[in-house]
Chains A and B, each alone.
Chain A
Amino acid sequence: MNNKIFDLIVIGGGPGGYVAAIRASQLGMSVALVEDKHLGGICLNWGCIPTKALLRASEIKHMLDNVEEFGFSVSNIKMDIKKITQRSRKVASQLSSGISHLLKKNKVKVFEGFAKIDKNSDQSKKIIIKTKDGTITEFAKNIIIATGAKSRNLPFVKSDGINIWDYKTAMIPEHLPSSLVIIGSGAIGMEFASFYNDLGVKVTVIEALPNILPNEDDDISNIVKNSFAKRGIVLKTNSSLKSVNINKDTVTSEIIHNGNSEIINSEKVILAVGIIANTQNLGLENFNIKIDKGHIVTNEYLETAEKGIYAIGDVTGGPWLAHKASHEGILCVEKMAGVSNLSPIDKSSIPGCTYCRPQVASIGLTEKAAKSKSLNIKVGKFPFIGNGKAIALGDSEGIIKTIFNKDTGELIGAHMVGPEVTELIQGFSIAKKLETTEHELMHTIFPHPTLSEGIHESVLDAFNKAIHY
């Protein structure tokens, strides 16, 4: 009989769970982590990281297709989709073993298996772990549920891994399909659209809402829309999917657009219509844990209605992003340890990135959201066509848009589309965290020549002081 009671057991080894476990150990807790499949979670194994490896390949393809502009000529370019996906898998496994090392270094006990929690005493909970070698029982004072989410199916169409792909199968195609229909134009849908289009696949994106990337600012969505359209990606917005039929060699998708039915045939279909939280079979029903729209409800410090049980990351409310999960993990554990001076996550300061071509990155409120809150705003826009570095790179499509509160100078939102904007957005994250006003941003010296100068110009433009525009 094992009598050890852990201070904390984390269920799920994704970017929320493993980060929480390491931080807890740093704070002196005895910590165990239970992971069923892969350390690093979806993000590292089947999400953020391997897709970036794929998109790097499609970016190289795009460059090869355009080398003449830079004075080169190449011929006989061959592409091997297997090698592209193999590299992507290698990147993921390299990082996953890195997580294992980090956990070991931080003395986090890792159990490979599926955990279920149950009541034990007032002071502790029971965790029953089904491993491949049998069932183990452990005890912990605190539990963090960091079990993440999985891709959502539609009532009339489910991913089958053959013709109807989810994000996972879309990442490891046996061969390149000739044509693809992608259902959903969020970050995942748009990244796959960009990837497959660059590799030469005929891509159609179906979106029920009026704009692609519906969470982004309208100006940004429109630029991406035009850019995609120029590349030959067919975008069907305001279109609801009515049915999907699998034929011998093709899939037939029927959509309703402006009241008219339209049939689209493609070799494969990717479902990218959001996620559902992994709340099943965890034993949550044994506790007073509330679930709202499929996600676990917590307080601002990630504790559920059941004392001692916490939830972080995708299993809780959105935005469903790895960096939000990691941050929640740290906040939750520090609160548990009684660290002072903590403050809850400000959801208006979580940046979001989409790595399609052109890249999209944003933080804070869109112009529309700011207006709907009746905020008195000033908007600045700067196109990369006015930026020397962007022109030199041969990649000057896109803009940086900044939104300020006219009365206080608060940076309300920043929205970017264009070269490497996913690397630029952190400047705005810091600015927001430090609560800078336009004054500090205007008086910051940005290095020349860089893409980051566009940030400066956009801020200046919001106050009618832009120099290069």
Chain B
Amino acid sequence: MSINILMPALSPTMEEGTLAKWLVKEGDKVNSGDLIAEIETDKATMEVEAVDEGIIGKLLVLEGQDSIKVNAPIAVLLTDDEKISDINIENFETNEVNTNQVDNKTQSNAENDIPQISNESQIQKITNLEENGQVNAHESTRLFITPLAKRIANQRKINLNSVNGSGPNGRILKKDVENFQPSNIVPITEDKLSSNNFELVKNSSMRKTIAQRLVKSKTEAPHFYLSIDCNIDQLLKARTSINALSNGNYKISVNDMIIKATSASLLKVPKANASWENENTRYFKNTDISVAVAIEGGLITPIVKNVETKGLLQISNDMKILAEKAKEGKLLPEEYVGGSFSISNLGMYGIKEFAAVINPPQGCILAIGSGEQRTVVINNQIEIATMMTVTLSCDHRVVDGAVGAEFLSQFKVFIENPSLLLL
């Protein structure tokens, strides 16, 4: 019995993904657990393992093919002594209907705002949900196209993988190529570029997810902002003495200490450690801190989990590994899906202060400005201190002004008295 390898749902928000790279080719034997492909999701590039063993009979999607719907077949695994010719490659309409249904489910999940964290258990490795032997002819590696359509597509440099065929069995006809919307063409033809000095870059699935989630956040979550100045001289002093004894084994950053201080403040003000779920508000008992990390083409928020149980060293190590994985696009979904509170730090760029967009469904995000020497008045004296301005963006549905303010004042206490973090 042949098994369809389906596009896995690698995160609860994932509706479609890009097949970044095949790690196997047709005819390869695979065992359960072998890596077969790299898939670029809205968040990261992930490796996919085979669940069953068998021979790769057919790769149904091309490397680089994007917008592959979750649960669409991407390859056919032959078990026992099957041949590819045994597979019944037809009935693609029925299959399309299946895919659509799955699609709708995914969508409605997203719309119902089922919290990400509770969906973690649903994260799937490759599973063969159906063994119906149906293969989507549309996504087969063989391209059905008339000679004329092919020539016109070549002349216009149209990527045929993006063109839907309207002819028999999805064959691409002249009119399909001619009616193809050039806005989807990447890269745009050179002659179009010559008169205008710009470059069109196709939006990656990550960019689209960022767009979708942040628009959702800004349109649905009523943001308000609270700022506070923190004197970080004590914190810097503590950091210097901690790092002085490291013998090069570790290097605690200000950011690591901010993560810890955030966690400690959330424990003091648990009402700020919350997310909005329409019917309910979820108050978290642990502190999973999402930390925004800029990566090529976007950003991602890997999570330092259960920070309340971790010391600075562990936080620092966790952060280092997560940041590295993020930059390589290798974060696992459980490493970035969920989180109870976010931090975004642009201090290293000299940004004095800024207001961040909340990462839904979380209730707050803390924006960290740079530490800088400012003149401050202490006991009627003008003095110089290293100051850092932080701004808390709150979703007013979850966190009211007083709660946010209470959190910030606690945060200020911890930052200015770092020894309290030892408690």
Known: A340-B93, A410-B174. A437 touches B167 (CB 8 A): no
Which 3 A-B pairs rank lowest in CB-CB distance, beginning with the nearest? A435-B146, A435-B148, A437-B147
Query: Complex formed: what's the CA distance from A341 to B152 in Å?
Result: 22
Which one of B93, B155, B167 lies within 8 Å of A408 (CB-CB)?
A: B155
B117 at the interface (CB under 8 A from A): no
Question: Residue B167 contacts which of A341, A407, A439 (CB distance < 8 angstroms)?
Answer: A341
Kindly supply a per-residue 1/0 record for chain B positions 169-187, scoring 1 wherever the CB is within 8 Å of any chain A CB and 0 otherwise. 1000110000000000000
- List B136-180 residues whose CB lies under 8 Å from chain A: 146-149, 151-152, 155, 166-169, 173-174
The interface on chain B, measured as residues whose beta carbon lies within 8 A of the other chain's beta carbons, has a size of 14
Is the Cβ of A409 less than 8 Å from the Cβ of B151? yes
Output the least CB separation between A429 and chain B (Å). 15
Please indicate the chain B residues that have their CB under 8 angstroms from the CB of A434 in the complex. Answer: 146-147
Provide the residues of chain B in CB contact with A435, threshold 8 Å.
146-149, 173-174
Query: Considering the complex, which residues of chain B in the window 97-153 have a beta carbon less than 8 Å from any beta carbon of chain A?
Result: 146-149, 151-152
Contact string against B for A residues 408-428, beta-carbon threshold 8 Å, 1 for contact and 0 otherwise: 111000000000000000000
A440 nearest CB neighbor, chain B only:
B147
A340-B93, A407-B155 given; A437·B168 CB < 8 A: no
| Cross-chain contact B147 with A436 (CB below 8 angstroms) | yes
Q: How far is the CA of A437 from the CA of B148 in the complex (A)?
A: 6
19 contacts between A and B (CB under 8 A): A340-B93, A341-B168, A343-B166, A407-B155, A408-B148, A408-B151, A408-B152, A408-B155, A409-B151, A434-B146, A434-B147, A435-B146, A435-B173, A435-B174, A436-B146, A436-B147, A436-B148, A437-B148, A437-B151
Contact with B along A322-366 (1 / 0, CB 8 A): 000000000000000000110100000000000000000000000
Q: How far is the CB of B311 from chain A (nearest CB, A)?
A: 63
- Tell me the A residues contacting B by CB distance below 8 Å: 340-341, 343, 407-410, 434-437, 439-440
Q: Which residues of A contact B166 (CB under 8 A)?
A: 341, 343
**A-B contact sample (20 more), CB < 8 A, given A341-B168, A434-B147, A436-B148:** A340-B93, A341-B169, A343-B166, A343-B167, A343-B173, A407-B155, A408-B148, A408-B152, A408-B155, A409-B148, A409-B151, A434-B146, A435-B146, A435-B148, A435-B149, A435-B173, A436-B147, A437-B147, A437-B151, A439-B147
Residue of B nearest to A433 (CB): B146
Q: Which residue of A lies closest to B174 (CB)?
A: A435
CA distance A407 to B151 in the complex (A): 10
Q: How far is the CB of B153 from chain A (nearest CB, A)?
A: 10
* Cα separation A440 to B151 with both chains bound (whole Å): 12
CA separation between A382 and B157, bound complex, in Å?
Answer: 35
Q: How far is the CA of A408 from the CA of B374 in the complex (A)?
A: 70
For A340, A437, A439, A440, the residue with the greatest tally of chain B CB atoms inside 10 Å of its CB is: A437
Q: Measured between C-beta atoms, what is the minimum distance from A412 to chain B in Å?
A: 11
Contacts of A408 in B (CB 8 A): 148, 151-152, 155
Q: A415 to nearest B CB, angstroms?
A: 20
Question: For the complex, what is the distance from the CA of A408 to the CA of B151, rounded to whole Å?
Answer: 7
Q: Which residues of the partner chain B approach A439 to less than 8 Å between Cβ atoms?
A: 147
Contacts of A340 in B (CB 8 A): 93
CB-defined interface of B399-411 with A at 8 Å, one 1/0 digit per residue?
0000000000000
Provide the bound-state CA to CA distance between A340 and B146, in Å: 19
Quote the shortest CB–CB distance from A438 to chain B (angstroms): 10
Query: Nearest-CB distance from B271 to chain A (Å)?
Result: 56
Chain B residue contacts of A436, Cβ below 8 A: 146-148
Distance between Cα atoms of A342 and B166 in the complex (Å): 8
Residues of chain A with a CB closer than 8 A to B151's CB: 408-409, 437
B31-79 with Cβ < 8 A to chain A:
none
Q: Which residues of B contact A440 (CB under 8 A)?
A: 147
Complex-state Cα separation, A436 to B145, whole angstroms: 10
B165 CB, nearest partner CB in chain A, Å: 10
